[in-house]
Amino acid sequence: MTAAYDALQPPPGARDKGGIEVLRVGVVEGGLHLTLRRAFNDPRAWGILLADVARQVARVYAQEGNAAEQPVAEQIRDAFAAEMNAPVNSGTIGPIS
């Protein structure tokens, strides 16, 4: 018997208006697994997408009362820059020191 995959629901706007999924990411046994669609002619659009995702993640941490939004966004930005400059791993999610 295979284990169930706990997938998220499509975003509310997508349910109402349609659209295309451009990125799906999952963590399986500590490893990062993803599928993506190139979707944009200009690769800089991915930078905008990733920045929007980071801001939303920071907002969620703030809404849950775990931390203020700005410091979380800064931690994400710093970790992103460090990973882009010197990858620590190839898609494995683990403790970040």
Domain with residue 24: its CATH number is 3.30.2370.10
In a domain, 53, yes or no: yes
Q: Is residue 6 part of a domain?
A: no
Residue 21: per-residue pLDDT? 94
Helix, strand or coil, per DSSP, at residue 65: coil
In the predicted model, residues of the chain with pLDDT beneath 50 are: 96-97
How far is Cα 87 from Cα 89, in angstroms, rounded to an integer? 5
The per-residue pLDDT for 72 is 97
Range of the domain at 70: 16-85
**Number of structural domains found in the chain:** 1
Asked whether residue 3 is domain-assigned, the answer is no
Residues contacting 63, CB < 8 A, separation 6+:
none
Nearest Cα residue to 93 out of 23, 28, 8, 49? 28
In a domain, 68, yes or no: yes
